[in-house]
Amino acid sequence: MDGDEGAEGPYEASCIFCRIISGRAPSHTVYEDSEYIAFLDIAPFSRGHTLVCPKRHGETIWDMTETEIAGLFKIATKMARAVVSAVHADGLRFVQNNGEAANQVVEHVHVHVIPVSMEDKGRFMGRKSFSPKEMEETAAEIRSALESIM
């Protein structure tokens, strides 16, 4: 790694997710523990679109241990319940891309938790934009829903 030592351990200075994890970049964080973090996607496919990441930098899922992968999906599953509840979605998509060919944009392992409504069934979902106020309100709703789940 050609990074630095952050509050949570080594990170990659060029990685936006590592900068979020270390507090060097802003985010609408909805969950955080010693190993994982979840925050709203800045270019979401739907209201509540959340990214769940391990704090330890790794570019693809092959850079993780089986235990870390299990932990990532355990947190993603809890986040999915909270997100669906908070935004009153009818369903959700988990998306986990590995490598440029798979459309991985940020080279840090992450799972997309994308809430969907019946109106979105069978449709291509384009990226949306929400105001900072809408993003913070959504984050607060997800954090509240998460409290009742955990």
Q: Per-residue confidence of the chain (150 residues) as pLDDT tens digits?
A: 344 444 444 567 889 999 999 999 999 999 999 999 999 999 999 999 999 999 999 999 999 999 999 999 999 999 999 999 999 999 999 999 999 999 999 999 999 999 999 988 877 778 999 999 999 999 999 999 999 887
Q: Give CA–CA dist 25/102, Å, rounded.
A: 26
Q: Give CA–CA dist 122/9, Å, rounded.
A: 42
pLDDT at 104: 94
Is 28 one of the catalytic residues?
no
pLDDT at 115: 96
Question: Which domains, from first to last, does the chain contain?
Answer: 4-149 (3.30.428.10)
Tokens of 3: 């990074």
pLDDT at 7: 41
- Which residue among the candidates 28, 108, 110, 112 is catalytic per the annotation? 110
The partner residues of 47 in beta bridges, in order of sequence, read: none
pLDDT at 126: 85
Residue 93 to residues 79, 130, 137, Cα–Cα distance (Å): 12, 20, 22
pLDDT at 6: 42
pTM: 0.90
